[in-house]
Amino acid sequence: MSKTRDDHRSATRAVLAGRREEWTSRVVNTPIWRGSTHLYASEEERQESLKYNEDGHFHYGRRGAPTQWSLAEALTQLEPGADGTMLYPSGTAALAGAMMSVLEPGDVLLVQDNVYEPTRSIASGLLKRWGVEARFFDPADHDAYAAAFDDRTTAVMLETPGSLTMEVPDIPHLSAIAREKGACTLVDNTWATGLGFAALEHGCDISITALTKHAGGHSDVMMGAASAGKKHYAKLRHTAQSLGQCVSPDDTALVSRGLRTMPLRLQQTSTSALKVAQWLQQRSEVAHVLCPMLEGSPGHELWQRDFTGGCGLFSFVLSGQTEAQRSAFVNHLELFGIGYSWGGFESLALPFDAARIRSASAWPLPGWREEDRLGIRLAIGLEDADDLIADLDRAFAAIKHS
Ligand SMILES: *Cc1c(COP(=O)(O)O)cnc(C)c1O
């Protein structure tokens, strides 16, 4: 065991990746190596070790141990084109760490308008204090995007699909323009992961995922990762080490365990999500279904062109109902919990107000009725899709006359 081969498909990779014999000692999943201090055999060996700052060498707890190296290597092998992966204590820490690794005071960062809300906050808060100017752009307006670059623009922050509203940006096009202008491209690839969207092969330089979601898979651990080719991996590593970023071996083992079944869970939740989305599309209470995997949904063509997989997360927009009706609908759901996050085995529902978290693009989307604006995001878990549909049906019936 166990290097993956180039011709292995992703499910096989997810089973084999990162399980080097020197890290596992031949148990199947990598054991938990706890430790801050590594003892050297002699002062000469300690002196010698100072020459290296590489993955896979014991030095001190912050640089990890086999538990962390194994997960990082597995994630690298699941992100086509990556040479290395840094682990962070949350997805948000990965986003902040990745942005800080490519930006300096005085730089301009272009940020897709519908990114995850904390990404927006990092860009307009922490990075502003750090002397970086964030400019938000509408991912559908390619001319305005190209015009937003100037000679201080060094990086572009993308996410696919956009959080909550789920529009799929044309990443090959956006990243090609960035490259032409000498800027690097970062993408939040949490939704599809490297299994469903080969971000680096579609022109991005750094692919970031919240492992809290699909890799963890059981709503009981927080972690994040950023994967990149050699040049950007070195920057990620240097910045993460400067910030003292590290992850616990216990959490890492949970994520490694989740990773082995991730392809199966992604497949199942995608299938169920599409079934639920198709059902919602027929409902008179629903004005729009925002699910890249669904024909007729915004971004479906780009999803079909660029992605090899989906996941269980999508949104829909109510047809003119009030906020009180939306709250009542969510309260009547029995199988869907009300809560943040997603990618676990259980289904969740989250009302959202998109207009509050965008500044460069319209909500409702162009061409929609003004009253069709209240959204609900569904994270479809591993329950039977027909039970979930029955639950949604009951909740619609309950609010009919409210
Ligand atoms: C949840 C999420 C994150 C952040 O992950 P945390 O581990 O919760 O910090 C980042 N990006 C997207 C798209 C997410 O949904």
160 lines ligand 1 (CB under 6 A): no
Report the pLDDT averaged over residues 217-235.
98
* 2 pLDDT above the threshold of 70: no
Question: Do 248 and 270 lie in a common domain?
Answer: no
Q: Which two tokens stand for residue 128?
A: 């502003």
- b/e code 319-353 from CB counts within 10 Å (16+ = b): eebeeebbeebbebbebbbeeeebbbebbbbbebe
**85 bridge partner residues:** 227
pLDDT value at residue 119: 98
Question: Do 244 and 297 lie in a common domain?
Answer: no
Question: Do 315 and 242 lie in a common domain?
Answer: no
Question: Do 162 and 300 lie in a common domain?
Answer: no
Question: Do 254 and 269 lie in a common domain?
Answer: no
Report the pLDDT averaged over residues 300-306.
98
CATH number at residue 284: 3.90.1150.10
| C-alpha to C-alpha distance for 348 and 339, rounded to whole angstroms | 6
| C-alpha to C-alpha distance for 315 and 399, rounded to whole angstroms | 19
pLDDT value at residue 54: 82
CATH number at residue 14: 3.40.640.10
Q: Find the catalytic residue in 120, 213, 373, 377.
A: 213
* 318 pLDDT above the threshold of 50: yes
Q: Which of 209, 226, 258 is the last residue of a domain?
A: 258
Please say if 52 is a catalytic residue: no
User: What mean pLDDT is reported for the chain?
Assistant: 96
Question: Do 308 and 269 lie in a common domain?
Answer: yes
Report the pLDDT averaged over residues 276-291.
98
Question: Do 242 and 266 lie in a common domain?
Answer: no
CA–centroid distance, 291 to ligand 1, in Å, is 18
Please say if 138 is a catalytic residue: no
| C-alpha to C-alpha distance for 15 and 157, rounded to whole angstroms | 31
* 238 pLDDT above the threshold of 70: yes
Predicted confidence band of residue 6 (pLDDT cuts 50, 70, 90): confident
* 71 pLDDT above the threshold of 50: yes
If one counts the domains in the chain, the total is 2
Instruction: Using DSSP bridges, classify how beta strands 84-88 and 133-137 pair: parallel, antiparallel or unpaired.
Output: unpaired
Q: Find the catalytic residue in 107, 138, 170, 188.
A: 188
116 lines ligand 1 (CB under 6 A): yes
pLDDT value at residue 1: 47
pLDDT value at residue 401: 67
Q: Whose CA is nearest to atom 8 of ligand 1?
A: 91
Q: Which of 207, 234, 258 is the last residue of a domain?
A: 258
Question: Do 301 and 383 lie in a common domain?
Answer: yes
Q: Which amino acid is at 17?
A: A
pLDDT value at residue 96: 98
Contacts of 44 (CB under 8 A, 6+ apart): none
CA dihedral 55, 60, 63, 67 (to 10 degrees): 80
Predicted confidence band of residue 56 (pLDDT cuts 50, 70, 90): confident
pLDDT value at residue 344: 96
Is 2 contained in some domain?
Answer: no
Is 195 contained in some domain?
Answer: yes
Q: Which of 258, 288, 308 is the last residue of a domain?
A: 258
Cβ atoms within 10 Å of 161's Cβ, excluding its own: 29
Please say if 188 is a catalytic residue: yes
Question: Do 145 and 270 lie in a common domain?
Answer: no
Cβ atoms within 10 Å of 236's Cβ, excluding its own: 26
Strand, helix or coil for residue 145: helix
First-to-final CA distance of the chain: 60
Report the pLDDT averaged over residues 346-368.
94
Q: Whose CA is nearest to atom 4 of ligand 1?
A: 91
Q: Which two tokens stand for residue 188?
A: 């939040």
Between residues 54 and 254, the one the model is more confident about: 254
**158 bridge partner residues:** 187
Q: Which two tokens stand for residue 276?
A: 């639920």
Please say if 353 is a catalytic residue: no
Q: Could you tell me which of 337, 294, 288 has the C-alpha nearest to residue 316?
A: 288
Q: CA separation (Å) from 175 to 6, 149, 156, 171, 352?
A: 26, 12, 8, 6, 29
* 293 pLDDT above the threshold of 80: yes
Query: pLDDT for 173-224, tens place per residue?
Result: 999 999 999 999 999 999 999 999 999 999 999 999 999 999 999 999 999 9
* 314 pLDDT above the threshold of 60: yes
Query: pLDDT for 119-151, tens place per residue?
Result: 999 999 999 999 999 999 999 999 999 999 999
Is 322 contained in some domain?
Answer: yes
Q: Which two tokens stand for residue 397?
A: 């019936």
Q: Do 188 and 206 touch, CB atoms closer than 8 A?
A: no
| C-alpha to C-alpha distance for 295 and 203, rounded to whole angstroms | 26
Question: Do 151 and 95 lie in a common domain?
Answer: yes
Is 5 contained in some domain?
Answer: no
Question: Do 180 and 65 lie in a common domain?
Answer: yes
Domain range for 107:
10-258
Question: Do 359 and 327 lie in a common domain?
Answer: yes
Window from 55-59, 74-78, 166-170, 305-309 with minimum mean pLDDT: 55-59
Is 320 contained in some domain?
Answer: yes
